[in-house]
Amino acid sequence: MSTTIQKNTQSIKHQPAGLFEETRYEKIHNVIFSDANSASIAVAKEIAELIRTKQAEGKNCVLGLATGSSPVKVYQELIRMHKEEGLSFKNVITFNLDEYFPMQKEDIQSYWHFMHKNLFNHVDILPENINIPSGTLGKEEVRDYCYAYEEKIKQAGGIDFQLLGIGRTGHIGFNEPGSNVNSITRMVTLNKVTKTDAAHAFGGYKNVPSKAITMGVGTVLAARRVVLLAWGASKASIIAKTIEGEVSSQIPATFLQEHKNTTFVIDETAASELIRNKTPWLVGDYDFNNKNEEEIARAVVWLCERLDKTILGLREEDYLENGLGVLLEDTSAYDLNIRIFNRIQRAITGWPGGKPNADDSYRPEREHPHKKRVIIFSPHPDDDVISMGGTFDRLVEQGHEVHIAYQTSGSTAVADTEALRFVEVAHDMLLGKTDVSHLEKVMQILKNKKQGDKETLDVWKLKGNIRRHECYGATRYYNVPDENLHFLNLPFYETQAVEKQPIGEADIKIIEDLIREVKPHQIYAAGDLADPHGTHKVCLDGIFAALERLKNEDYMKDCWVWLYRGAWHEWDVHEMEMIVPMTRDQVLRKRQAIFFHQSQKDGAMYMGSDMREFWQRAEERNSDTANRLHKLGLAKYQAMEAFRRHFF
């Protein structure tokens, strides 16, 4: 990550031009934090200061509030300040942005439920001061209700501080693409991408309401202060378009460029696509002298792809005419090209565990010991084969002792229909041979289950067992002994619901104990941080915490940690430190291993907006990596998996 990133841990307030680190490309004031937690604390601090200022003036403080994962940590910090610092909410009036329609208050997916669970039940706000759009209206009542909601905001004196998140379509509230800049509170039809992103909370896309009531863009722009939150790589693209692009109704958040007191508070990954971070040499004078070789490689790869040239095909004028002449101050284009080409080429290896009896001076992995103990950590029961199935296969084939640690049961991602199919097969096989009343009870639960119902323990275990035995199918195909599979069932995940807990001591201890037991020479872990609130991130945090505790153990001095990416993204070329090529036969073996995870095939519950099956995503990603490297002048391979080393 570029050192030009501003890690502001104090004020986020909009400052006069020139006092913050925006570039000529950026049209909205933004502050970048190293992580969502510190950013959320800063936002909560500003809200608390506003509440206290209004209290001192004897006035109400009118807050516009958002739902979703982005503001949760802000609300947690406000609750902490209420309990520990005496922050009172008695003078606070709140107006929430939106609500699904139709939606009962008591439903766990309702924003009424969300706000009371995450804030209102824990502070001293007066119930009559809470305003959340109603999802229980008759359709004939909606129009008048929306006008009344607008009028109530005006009677309260207008919104002093509006908190926002942003959807991948650029929606704010539920103002989808096409929304008018002057729109007010109204009923809207939800975009397909928005519904897809909400599918995990509703147990599938088909259960997500198609409509919602939302404040309008005009309502938001009327607020005296606006702060928008965005965390994670999944928001990086839309954040860049919103901050740097033109104002367009197709990206409603761009209307905030016209607001005089708006700040985007984002973390490093959400800021990664901004020009100042992605290609900082385009912004102004950029000192490569203080950068490592990876940063230089990033610039060279960018130049190749910009000009559609190989690394060895770049000429001096290419560097000079594209703002990278500074790279040639102490070297020639020829020598720089050779250096970067060799850096990438040396990362390519068919021996991910190290090649025995070979000079390892320029290889990504050590020769010794020839036979390594390996732990592959898999957040979900299929991430091991989806994300690194070819490398997994190679490690086993080359004689290493491979252990797989499935960190969660994956129960959430098994559809009720899939679970019912399995239990009906078991029932029919056992009928007349033993008591099947328990199976019949589970069958009835599944048949009568309604959307939003919490899983019973029996159904949760059934779904976990389905995924566990799918793992056995894949690993037996790869010739891994059953005793090398470790089903950790980390407690943070085992809530019998979509919503999970934060990583805790019990989770870390389980991971720590496994590492201590195996004493690995290699650890592979999912480094895909596209969603900082997602399972991959939580699982990785648990591994890092365990490594921190174990780092002084003698055996850990010989342990290297390699991070792989998930089904959606690959490491960028300059980040790749080990690249494992695959033949066509190995690609087909990887596909077969993924197929053993049958409950996730065809109609997996959480596909996201990408409707390709997981094996298709994996193959296309691996093929794209190989093609991208070939265009840079490297040898042509069928497919490739890439890894980045983590130092602890």
- In angstroms, what CA-CA distances link 274 with 30, 58, 122, 465? 11, 42, 37, 44
How far apart, in whole angstroms, are the C-alpha atoms of residue 75 and residue 77? 5
What is the token pair recorded at 109?
């997916």
Quote the strand ranges of 300-385, DSSP E: 373-378
Measured N-to-C along each axis, helices 437-448 and 416-430 cross at an angle, to the nearest 10 degrees, of: 160
**Buried residues in 71-82 as b, exposed as e (16+ CB within 10 A):** bbbbbbbbbebb
**Cis check: omega of the bond before 481, within 30 degrees of 0:** no
Secondary structure of residue 501 in the 3-state scheme: coil
What gap in Å lies between CA 169 and CA 160, rounded to an integer? 26
Residue 415 burial class via C-beta count within 10 angstroms: exposed 0-12, middle 13-18, buried 19 and up? middle
Catalytic option among 26, 46, 99, 176: 176
Phi-psi region of 614 (alpha: psi -120 to 50; beta: other; left: phi over 0): alpha
- Candidates 549, 534, 544; CA nearest to 492 is 534
What is the three-state SS of 340-370?
Answer: HHHHHHCCECCCCCCCCCCCCCCCCCCCCCC
460: left (phi over 0), alpha (psi -120 to 50) or beta: alpha
Residue 289 corresponds to which amino acid? Answer: N
With CA atoms as reference, report the closest residue to 464 among 407, 510, 425, 502. Answer: 407
**124: burial class by Cβ within 10 Å (0-12, 13-18, 19+)?**
exposed
Structure tokens at 522: 């290699």
Contact 567, 644 (CB under 8 A): no
Closest-CA residue to 50 (of 100, 8, 5, 12): 12
Neighbours of 559 (CB within 10 A): 21
Q: How many CB atoms lie within 10 A of CB 138?
A: 8
* DSSP annotation of 253: G
CA separation for the pair 23, 244 (Å, rounded): 10
Instruction: For residue 176, indicate whether it is catalytic.
Output: yes
Instruction: List the beta strands (DSSP E) in 379-476.
Output: 401-406
Q: Report the catalytic residues.
A: 176
